């Protein structure tokens, strides 16, 4: 018994798995309003600071689109399969420019089955450019070790190109996956079509109003800002030192402990919730990936009570503290954790903390 069955039973009894698309649709609408306002502000202004601010707002709205498309790809938006497929398989490539098929492989299949497991979870593995564990640093030599020692100084520069890298990798995936018979050709064709329309939506359409040069400048500025916003939303969930890193995947009967130990929750206000799309409830999302984000606050109470009863560390911080710890992990690094079968907990994981503010 890994504890997950008990939590799922309690959640079912309280109706916390009942899906309704209204919450996600309202959040998508809110992000859409932010996006339209940002595009208008960029085109209506010539001041660099105003255009920069508009690009940041547009990047935040774009991450909001991606976060809620991610919910649909986990089938957490609606009880109707076609609604999830439509919002997920169209929303991610059209609004963010990322292959939904590649996301299903790297995120749904690999990341969720083995979060923070070395060599498996590509979402939390920044190698070879950046490392997060003491073991990886100890194994480095020469120039690589010097780079890793000071990597935290250069990480913000790398974030400028993070979205561009993800965008190009998505195209590389869909074009190369045609040779893989196990990958649906229809899904790949859908990705190619909607990622092409993505360029028309975010460059060609605004160009009809503001001109091609400003439209292209907006897209590039949005892409640069996206790297930082993506890190702000996705980084705090698994990068802090308290989110344990594993040398190998724990046994299946430790699924719940593994997901909790590898994840961190953070708190935010209504605007942050609209942008994060439930990813601020990273622990609950990993335990119940198909659960509707609107019910995550209630699921959090169940999981916190379970962790307190079982003696499992549960990490919940303010957004600024979680973000700082995600960045600081590049400087301090964390150990690779080994599973202790006698206790069914991870003794090498850091102690739990709560509260707000920077450390």
Contact criterion met (CB below 8 Å) for 152 and 325: no
Taking residues 295-322, what's their average pLDDT? 93
State the pLDDT confidence band at 339, using cuts at 50, 70 and 90: low
Contact criterion met (CB below 8 Å) for 100 and 93: yes
Answer whether residue 350 shows pLDDT above 90.
Answer: no
Element counts in the chain: helices (H) and strands (E): 18, 4
Answer whether residue 348 shows pLDDT above 50.
Answer: no
Give percent above pLDDT 70 in the chain.
Answer: 93
Stronger pLDDT, 213 or 337, i.e. the higher one? 213
- The pLDDT tens digits for 147-180 are 999 999 999 999 999 999 999 999 999 999 888 8
Contact criterion met (CB below 8 Å) for 317 and 353: yes
Stronger pLDDT, 51 or 357, i.e. the higher one? 51
- The pLDDT tens digits for 232-280 are 999 999 999 999 999 888 888 888 889 999 999 999 999 999 999 999 9
pLDDT of residue 344: 47
pLDDT of residue 7: 86
Contact criterion met (CB below 8 Å) for 95 and 265: no
Does residue 271 come out as left (phi exceeding 0), alpha (psi in the -120 to 50 range) or beta?
alpha
Contact criterion met (CB below 8 Å) for 111 and 121: yes
Whole-number Cα distances in Å, 347 to 71, 287, 337:
32, 20, 8
Contact criterion met (CB below 8 Å) for 97 and 224: no
pLDDT of residue 356: 28
186 contacts: CB under 8 Å, gap ≥ 6: none
Answer whether residue 355 shows pLDDT above 70.
Answer: no
What's the sign of the alpha-carbon dihedral 93, 208, 37, 58? positive
Contact criterion met (CB below 8 Å) for 170 and 102: yes
State the pLDDT confidence band at 203, using cuts at 50, 70 and 90: very high
Taking residues 183-203, what's their average pLDDT? 93
DSSP state of 267: E
pLDDT of residue 250: 82
pLDDT of residue 253: 80
Contact criterion met (CB below 8 Å) for 27 and 277: yes
Answer whether residue 209 shows pLDDT above 80.
Answer: yes
């Amino acid at each position: 018994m890994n504890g997950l069955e008990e939590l799922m039973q309690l959640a079912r009894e309280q109706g916390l798995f009942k899906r309704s698309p209204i919450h996600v649709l309202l959040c998508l609408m809110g992000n859409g309003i932010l996006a339209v306002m940002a595009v208008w502000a960029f085109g209506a202004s010539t001041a660099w600071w105003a255009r920069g601010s508009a690009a940041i707002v547009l990047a935040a709205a774009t991450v909001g689109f991606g976060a809620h498309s991610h919910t649909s790809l986990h089938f957490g938006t609606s009880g109707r399969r076609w609604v999830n497929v439509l919002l997920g398989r169209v929303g991610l490539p059209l609004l963010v420019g990322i292959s939904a098929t590649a996301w299903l492989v790297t995120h749904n299949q690999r990341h969720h089955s083995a979060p923070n497991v070395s060599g498996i979870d590509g979402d939390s593995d920044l190698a070879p450019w950046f490392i997060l564990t003491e073991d990886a640093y100890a194994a480095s030599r020469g120039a690589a070790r010097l780079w890793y020692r000071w990597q935290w100084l250069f990480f913000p520069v790398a974030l400028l190109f993070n979205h561009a890298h993800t965008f190009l990798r998505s195209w590389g995936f869909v074009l190369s996956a045609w040779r893989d018979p196990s990958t649906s050709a229809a899904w790949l064709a859908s990705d190619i079509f909607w990622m092409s329309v993505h360029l028309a939506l975010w460059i060609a359409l605004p160009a009809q109003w503001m001109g091609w040069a400003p439209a292209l400048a907006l897209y590039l500025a949005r892409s640069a800002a996206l790297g930082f916003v993506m890190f702000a939303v996705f980084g705090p969930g698994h990068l802090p030192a308290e989110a344990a890193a594993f040398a190998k995947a724990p046994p299946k009967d430790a699924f719940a402990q593994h997901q909790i130990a590898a994840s961190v929750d953070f708190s935010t206000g209504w605007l942050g919730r609209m942008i994060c799309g439930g990813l601020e409830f990273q622990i609950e999302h990993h335990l119940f990936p198909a659960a509707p984000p609107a019910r995550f606050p209630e699921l959090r109470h169940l999981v916190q009570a379970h962790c307190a009863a079982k003696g499992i560390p549960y990490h919940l911080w303010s957004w600024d503290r979680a973000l700082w710890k995600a960045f600081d992990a590049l400087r301090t690094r964390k150990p690779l954790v080994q599973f202790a079968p006698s206790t069914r907990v991870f003794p090498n994981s850091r102690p739990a903390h709560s509260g707000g503010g920077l450390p």
